[in-house]
Amino acid sequence: MRESTQVSSDPLSAALSMIDARCVLARAIKAQGPWSLTLRAHAPLMLVAPARGEFWLTVPGADRQIRLAEGDIAVVHGDLRQIMSSDPGLNPTDGEALFRLHDRNSQTVQLGESPDVALVGGHIALDRSGEELLLAALEPVTHIRASDGQAPVLRWLLDRLLDEMERDQGGSEFAARQYASLLFVEVLRGYLADPAACPPSWLRVLATPSLAPAVHRMQADPQRNWTLEDLAHTVAMSRTTFAERFREAAGMPPLTYLTHWRMRLAERALTEDDVTIAALSHSLGYSTESSFSHAFKRIHGISPGRYRGRRRNLEAPDLAGHAV
């Protein structure tokens, strides 16, 4: 198999590689005085933050209105319109039209001669598996405050992202995307520091210290014939206690989680690799190709071979549609 199917010893890195998370667009707005802009999502996940000053973020579809202070970050997911303003009572201007009016090579809009607010945003694209795996772990709108423990790193990344977006030199566009992606990683680390912030999901399991080692072992060795007793032993719990706590955190039993993780690996391999179905079955811990195919069809509704054919036929149009 190619590298894409290899499993990292770091569960979060493994998951991020699996869902193909990448920044597809980074933008900046610099403003002064009364201002209000409405913007739409360009990808399933958006990060927005004031690098300087503060502003209001209103997300009508989620019935949320947040005042973002310097260094705060908001995470918005789904096809939700966002209004960014100095005052939520103002009528918003079409921000998309303003960006189109500016230099097409620039992703920065300036409102006023001496801006006292500078906000940056990054749109994070995910593949289909990522949309199912990650977005289910996040609330529609999440507010991460600068007072949290990650504040120094987040402020530095925000400063670097804004600096690159303001530059007119080679590599700045590429660099801005990388800083936006790093912001995304820091945001997820923030979730991992606070299990209560996550609904039942894989992210909440990773955020629960007493359960994370079991997830780590499953993801690092999906080929092993894991039993509930084996997994409970890795975290020094009884089978009953482990099963109950895992289900509460993940929203599913441990062995169901393992099956879903194996299916994520299978989806990736069937889309990107030339591995045979028999070899893939063995690498994921199934004793026969038939048992793997049965498990795969139970989740996806079609056989692995048909899934591979469909994904390879559809992959190019899907990616083109995401790269807005």
What is the percentage of the chain residues whose pLDDT exceeds 70?
88
Q: Does 232 reside within a domain?
A: yes
- Pair 215, 182 in one domain: no
pLDDT at 231: 96
Residue 277 lies in a domain: yes
Structure tokens of 88? 């939520």
Output the pLDDT for position 6.
Answer: 46
| 202 found inside a domain | no
CA separation for the pair 159, 306 (Å, rounded): 47
**How many Cα atoms sit within 13 Å of 137 on the Cβ side?**
23
The residue segments making up the domain with residue 298 are 208-322
pLDDT at 203: 82
Please give the Cα distance from 224 to 286 (Å, whole number). Answer: 9
- Please give the backbone phi and psi of residue 93, each rounded to the nearest 5 degrees, phi first: -90, 155
214 in Cβ contact with 231 (< 8 Å) = yes
Shared-domain flag, residues 179 and 253? no
Residue 45 in this model has a pLDDT that exceeds 60: yes
Residue pair 254/228 in contact (Cβ under 8 Å)? The answer is yes
Residue indicated by tokens 């918005």: 76
Indicate whether 175 and 219 sit together in one domain.
no
Q: How confident is the model at residue 106 (pLDDT cuts 50, 70, 90)?
A: low
Residue type present at position 289: E
Same domain, 118 and 92: yes
Element (H, E) at 231: helix 228-234
16 within a domain of the structure (yes/no): no
Kindly state whether residue 6 falls inside one of the protein's structural domains: no
User: Does 218 lie in the same domain as 119?
Assistant: no
C-alpha–C-alpha distance, residues 309 and 126, integer Å: 21
- Is 15 within the bounds of a domain? no
Mean pLDDT across the chain, nearest whole number?
83
pLDDT of residue 253: 95
Amino acid at 314: L
Is 2 contained in some domain? no
245 in Cβ contact with 235 (< 8 Å): no
Residue-wise pLDDT tens digits, 296-312: 999 889 999 999 988 77
Q: Which of 16-20, 81-85, 231-235 has the lowest mean pLDDT?
A: 16-20
Q: Place 289 in a pLDDT band, splitting at 50, 70 and 90.
A: very high
pLDDT band, residue 273 (cuts 50/70/90) = confident
Of 176, 34, 25, which is closest to residue 117 (Cα–Cα)? 34
Residue among 74, 226, 43 at smallest CA distance from 139? 74
- Return the number of other C-beta atoms located less than 10 Å from residue 208's C-beta: 20
Top mean-pLDDT range of 100-109, 136-145, 178-187, 234-243: 234-243
The mean pLDDT value for 10-33 works out to: 79
- CATH number, domain of 224, equals 1.10.10.60
pLDDT at 148 over 70: no
* Domain end among 195, 226, 242: 195
CATH of residue 165's domain is: 2.60.120.10
Same domain, 224 and 176: no
Q: Which of 172, 195, 218 is the last residue of a domain?
A: 195
Task: Tell me how far apart the alpha carbons of residues 79 and 100 are, in angstroms, rounded to a whole number.
Answer: 20
Q: Convert 169-180 to b/e letters by CB count within 10 Å (16 or more is b).
A: eeeeeebbbbbb
- Whether residues 184 and 39 fall in one domain: yes
- Same domain as 230, residue 162: no
Residues 159 and 257 in one domain: no
32 and 161 both lie in a single domain: yes
Which tokens in the block code for residue 4? Answer: 């894409």
Query: In this structure, are 113 and 30 located in the same domain?
Result: yes
Most confidently predicted of 162-171, 241-250, 268-277: 241-250
- The reply to whether 247 and 167 lie within a common domain is no
104 CB neighbour count, 10 Å cutoff: 8
Q: How far is CA 15 from CA 6, 10, 84, 140, in A?
A: 11, 9, 31, 20
pLDDT bin (cut points 50, 70, 90) of residue 101 is confident
Q: How many domains does the chain have?
A: 2
Determine, yes or no, domain membership for 36.
yes
| Crossing angle between the packed helical segments 212-220 and 11-18, to the nearest 10 degrees | 50
The more confidently predicted of residues 8 and 255 is 255
Position 321 scores a pLDDT of 37
Residue 9's pLDDT is: 54
pLDDT of 167 higher than 80: no
CA-CA distance, 168 to 161, in Å (whole number)? 13
Q: Which uninterrupted H or E stretch holds 261?
A: helix 254-272
Instruction: Answer for the pair 264, 282: CB distance below 8 angstroms, yes or no.
Output: no
